[in-house]
Structure 1
Amino acid sequence: MRSSAYRSRRGDGRLKPTWSSLVKAPGLVGDIRAQFRNDICQEITLTIRRMYQGACAVIVAAASLVGCSESNGKASGGGGSGSPDGLTTTNVFGKAAGDLDTLKWDVPDGEPTSLSPIFAANFSGQAILANLCDQLLVQDADYKISPHLAKATQVNDTTVTLDVVEKAKFWDGKPVTAEDVVFSLKQQMRPDAQFGFAFKSVSSISETGARQVTVKFKKPDELFVKELASPIGMVWQKDYAEAKGAAYGTAGGGLMCSGPFELGKWNQGRSMTLTRNDAYWNPTYRAHAKQVELSFVTDTAALTQGLLAGEFDGAWNVRPSQVDALKGGDKGSLVVGDSLAQTMVSFANAGGVTGNPDLRRAILGSIDREAIGEKVFKGTADPSYTVVAPNYWDEGATAVYEKAYGPYEKSNKLTVEQAKKLVESSGYKGQTLKLAYPSGDATQSLLSQIIQEQLAGIGVKVKIISMEPLAFLTATYTPSQRRSLDLMMMGNYGYAKDPLEFITFFLGPDETYNWTDFSDPEVTAGLTEARATFDAEKRAEILVRLQEKWEAAAPFASFLMPKELTYVKNGIGGVVTSGAYLNLPSLALIGTK
């Protein structure tokens, strides 16, 4: 593990400067700072992948949280505070009626270092790949899943078949085969791949016909098929990938996929061009743009200026700090959409001052979610009052979750007097709690200051600790690096509307994010039972029953659901403005109105 100063060697043998020296350097040119941020973000995601396999959604959100992008501009589909004045609320903005010669778009997290589907861990890489490499299943802008490269059939509790469509072809004209599907899924299972968590229950993946793949499971897993409608289900050509080896997915090695765009010129450090695949097999996602010019602008001020000047046709993942400037522009529209993101505050250790559940409930219950949503997120984040945030609820069981949510919305929203009583009963003696956030992130800095102020109102002292990004990330999966801390700001982003996608990572025994050592045999058994339950309502009933246990322990809070923010230039339509843009060929749908 590298030190928190993060001095690593460049390809030319020179040392990279530290993050802090760059951030504090007066007069620093924006693109230099942005490129350094991109370098460290790539290092962060690679470091986490080496440390453990799984929890990809948390990895992506954590990398964004430490300044790789202000992913707290990522969005939510629950709650219901409405859209701030001057913003449009929709998951698809406008209708594409015509084609474009060139679509100019800025991607969320700067330049990816790899487009290999098993290594592209940030939002930029995944957004680009969604338009190059088809998934087995696909989501629409409202997160509804349908067949794409294949039709998935749940034959029984431990068997899934994938029947590959006959007309699907790679860019070189060769058909997509069952062999390619088996190869791609097994690549996702590699120890160094990012999506291993989705395959924990899989026992075998094999060809059982010329166009059929069968997946066998050690135990039932209701989540697996859903995850195939995300980057987890991407398919690429086996022969090409094996021929390119380690170069696959790089600027020099390229890709061979079946999507509506082909990878064109990759001008490393500056831009990337995608060219339309005119022989694309699926008319639903035929590309409107002949080519797409992707920019890697990560400097917020530079991006805002470019959008207001009409230099870009649009950008996903707009930051809350850009809202005021962009909603007043006349070159385009700032759009609010649904997403599966949560902003969280977690207790850093099992014992210590915050080891008492009463103190934890007092802290979490005194956070004024509505005020933070307005003040920090400019009205583009909804409050959440349970560990499982409403934007993660299965749509087939919303009524079950809603009925159970109401009482917690009241009981987890404490008055000052209620919170003070819990603080007193906890035995808290005025110790100063340390709240950590990653340096260089203005949103997290402001968020931490507001929480500090709110906790002071109930008699709890807080000292804010600004940590260098790599040190912060190291602390999230290294207990010894958290021992001096009490609270940490965290983020989560999901692919499927299913609480089981993330809850086990935070509440399962010995899991990476179970920092308070939450342990309850009934919860552990119940989560296993829920994963084996294919009926959404019955699964929700299990989780609602277990919810009483973890809410009483108050291990962390998913206290905000930030929304997806997208800027769209006038005259452009067909833009997916929900967080589902990561899970379908969203660039292909964009055209002229």
Structure 2
Amino acid sequence: MPDRRRALALLSSTLLLPLSARLARAQGAEPRRGGTLTLVEVGEPTTLVPLTDSNTRTRNISTKVTEGLLRFDASFAPQPLLATGWSVSEDGLRYRFTLRPGVKWHDGRPFTAADVRFSLLALRTIGPRGRITFANLVAVETPDPLTAILVLSKPTPYLLKALTAAESPIVPAHAYPGEAYGDSPNGSAPVGTGPYIFTEWARGSHVVLRRNPEYWQPGQPYLDRIVVRFVADTMAVSTALEAGEADVSYSVALPELERLRSHPRLAVTAVSDDYLNNAQVLEFNLDRPVLARAEVRHALASAIDRRIITGTIFYGHAEAAGSTIPAALKAYNDEAPFAYPFDLARANRLLDEAGASRGPDGTRFSLRLTFHPGPTFRKTAEYLRAAFSRVGVKVDMADGDLATFIRRVYYERDFDFNLNGISRLFDPTVGVQRLYWSDGIKRPLPYLNAAHYDVPAVDDLFRRAATEVDEARRREIFRQIQGIVGADLPALALVTIPTIAVQNARVRGLFNSIDLATGDFSETWLAP
């Protein structure tokens, strides 16, 4: 697969060229103002602001309305957004941001440093990843309305990369009068500073955004409106794209891609997403006695043939994952501790040695499998059910929408093992630590330690990695972490997933940052 990975990376760098270079490749075409872009997706978010829920469905919409301090190009070089300048003190404990003047919230109020302070401190308190990202944030000083100074208790080497719109949205402080952040109407009708203004959320149907006529970037955005339609299944997505009723989707069924690729009005793009590093991850509920035994988890890992997942389920559009720390983070990735090759004989032997004998019907024990909503997750779950039956483990599948999934896994804990969609992100502290962080046991939040893994030594190593500025020492810490969690195996990364977009050929400038699908569409336009 390395050749395919290089090809995806090359494609990503091409898509993220500066606007002028992309337009030159579009035969000199100039951006055209006006029109409505329709994005169609399977499933619906639970909120439109990723404060309490960082799910991709939320992020894909919110970033058109709500901005961050920075964005990044394909090489992870920071670019100004709500911040126009920044500096870091020599000791790494003070980050000074100069904010963009003249920016207004969509309700007309001025954007100020007070909004930055409120947003980052709120993320530190209730953000699924913010509690880790901003763990070292002591205060946000605001000496004047256009200066925000982040004061840290310890160095935080990954901090700048976390300040994008999708990861750390800056929200209006005046929209959150209390600390019950989830109760604010801003979650359902967001007020932002971005290129598009929220207009309507018809639950179960669609979201409508309209052009911000007072956007701080002169001349942008180009589109008049964005309509995000929610449908129940992938067949409806393909039908809408082929009929010209939708312009873009990230939810196309993988078996449909080759057929849609041949459609004269459609283009298919698969891009390696090195910011999100999305993966399917199998999480074991360690509160269940049978799964609390490491040899049982090792046996189940050995019963999985990833070639079926990558080839049959993802049609070659995914790669086997070797570690929970993604291969894209080359400096930190170590796949050796996660070497559990497909081996049914080994799986059966380990289960026998664990005392999980087969009953008269050949069944050793039964497990309840929850899975993240979505067609590929369902298909992978169905494969896991069949795979585990071959070693005498009966699997019952628990279906449900996103809200049901989150409640069942993180609050009710009504599952035995869980097939999750995890963004492993741009740094292991932000994206991977949450799989193992014991804080998620005491204070549950979505996507935080579904396994209930509790190993103080691992917590301590992650704490050290979060503040270590020496890259050689930081690499060694992550190597130690992978050695421990690879053997304990509370979570097993199955496959990495690229961002796949199907778009009408008239759609131009779809991606304008490393965020890909969570970009802001400020440079997107529709050719005649």
Q: TM-score, normalised by structure 2?
A: 0.80
Counterpart selection for 1:263 from 183, 187, 198 = 198
Which residue of 1 is the match for residue 444 of structure 2?
none
1:344 aligns with 2:272: no
Shift of 1:107: 4.9
1:162 aligns with 2:92: no
Classify 1:314/1:149 alpha carbon distance in 2 versus 1 (closer, same or farther; 3 Å): same
Return the letter of the residue paired with 1:389: P
1:133 aligns with 2:66: yes
Return the letter of the residue paired with 2:100: V
Take 2:233 and 2:118, find their aligned partners in 1: how far apart are those partners?
A: 38
Cα deviations by residue, 1:150-201 (Å, 9 ceiling, x for unpaired): 1343323332222213354545776532233223334445659984553333
- What SS does the aligned partner of 1:527 have? helix
- What SS does the aligned partner of 1:434 have? strand
Contact 1:385 1:412 survives alignment (8 Å): no
Which residue of 1 is the match for residue 469 of structure 2?
534
Classify 1:236/1:141 alpha carbon distance in 2 versus 1 (closer, same or farther; 3 Å): same
Pairwise mapping of residues 56-205 of structure 1 onto structure 2 (< 5 A)?
80=2, 82=4, 90=12, 92=15, 95=23, 97-108=30-41, 115-116=48-49, 118=51, 122-140=55-73, 144-150=77-83, 151-155=85-89, 156-166=91-101, 168-170=103-105, 176-189=111-124, 195-205=130-140
Shift of 1:311: 1.9
- What SS does the aligned partner of 1:586 have? coil
Classify 1:515/1:106 alpha carbon distance in 2 versus 1 (closer, same or farther; 3 Å): closer
Cα deviations by residue, 1:126-158 (Å, 9 ceiling, x for unpaired): 323312222101133565543321134332333
Take 2:233 and 2:251, find their aligned partners in 1: how far apart are those partners?
A: 13
Return the letter of the residue paired with 1:388: I
1:505 aligns with 2:434: yes
Counterpart selection for 1:359 from 291, 296, 300 = 296
Contact 1:280 1:286 survives alignment (8 Å): yes
Which residue of 2 is the match for residue 586 of structure 1?
521
Take 1:315 and 1:196, find their aligned partners in 2: how far apart are those partners?
A: 31
Contact 2:48 2:188 survives alignment (8 Å): yes
- What SS does the aligned partner of 2:231 have? coil
Shift of 1:203: 1.9
Cα deviations by residue, 1:356-407 (Å, 9 ceiling, x for unpaired): 322322321331112211111122211012232324x2xxxx2x345x33x4
1:426 aligns with 2:360: no
Contact 1:432 1:462 survives alignment (8 Å): yes
1:565 aligns with 2:518: no
Contact 2:295 2:351 survives alignment (8 Å): yes
Which residue of 2 is the match for residue 437 of structure 1?
370
Return the letter of the residue paired with 1:530: A
Take 2:305 and 2:73, find their aligned partners in 1: how far apart are those partners?
A: 33
1:380 aligns with 2:313: no
Which residue of 2 is the match for residue 462 of structure 1?
394
- What SS does the aligned partner of 1:231 have? coil
User: What are the ranges of 5 or more consecutive residues in structure 1 without an aligned counterpart?
Assistant: 1-78
Counterpart selection for 2:143 from 174, 197, 208 = 208
Q: RCO higher in 1 or 2 (8 Å CA, sep ≥ 6)?
A: 1
Which residue of 1 is the match for residue 243 of structure 2?
309
Contact 2:38 2:245 survives alignment (8 Å): no
Which residue of 2 is the match for residue 492 of structure 1?
422
Contact 1:163 1:213 survives alignment (8 Å): yes
Contact 1:145 1:229 survives alignment (8 Å): no
Shift of 1:112: 5.2
Contact 2:129 2:434 survives alignment (8 Å): no
Take 1:246 and 1:546, find their aligned partners in 2: how far apart are those partners?
A: 38
- What SS does the aligned partner of 2:35 have? strand
Shift of 1:492: 0.9
Q: What is the aligned-residue RMSD (CA, Å)?
A: 3.7
Which residue of 2 is the match for residue 477 of structure 1?
410
Take 1:327 and 1:553, find their aligned partners in 2: how far apart are those partners?
A: 43
Cα deviations by residue, 1:481-501 (Å, 9 ceiling, x for unpaired): 34xx3x32222125x411111
Which residue of 2 is the match for residue 231 of structure 1?
166
- What SS does the aligned partner of 2:432 have? helix
Take 2:288 and 2:228, find their aligned partners in 1: how far apart are those partners?
A: 47
Query: Which structure has the highest helix share of the two?
Result: 1
Take 1:259 and 1:294, find their aligned partners in 2: how far apart are those partners?
A: 17
Take 1:324 and 1:577, find their aligned partners in 2: how far apart are those partners?
A: 26
1:280 aligns with 2:215: yes
Shift of 1:308: 0.9
Contact 1:116 1:249 survives alignment (8 Å): yes
Classify 1:246/1:528 alpha carbon distance in 2 versus 1 (closer, same or farther; 3 Å): closer
Return the letter of the residue paired with 2:139: S
Take 2:88 and 2:351, find their aligned partners in 1: how far apart are those partners?
A: 50
Q: Tell me the matched-pair count.
A: 493
Classify 1:387/1:128 alpha carbon distance in 2 versus 1 (closer, same or farther; 3 Å): closer
- What SS does the aligned partner of 1:490 have? strand
Which residue of 1 is the match for residue 229 of structure 2?
295
- What SS does the aligned partner of 1:355 have? coil
- What SS does the aligned partner of 1:207 have? strand
Take 1:479 and 1:507, find their aligned partners in 2: how far apart are those partners?
A: 19
Shift of 1:208: 2.3
Return the letter of the residue paired with 2:490: P
Take 1:390 and 1:429, find their aligned partners in 2: how far apart are those partners?
A: 37
Take 2:396 and 2:514, find their aligned partners in 1: how far apart are those partners?
A: 31
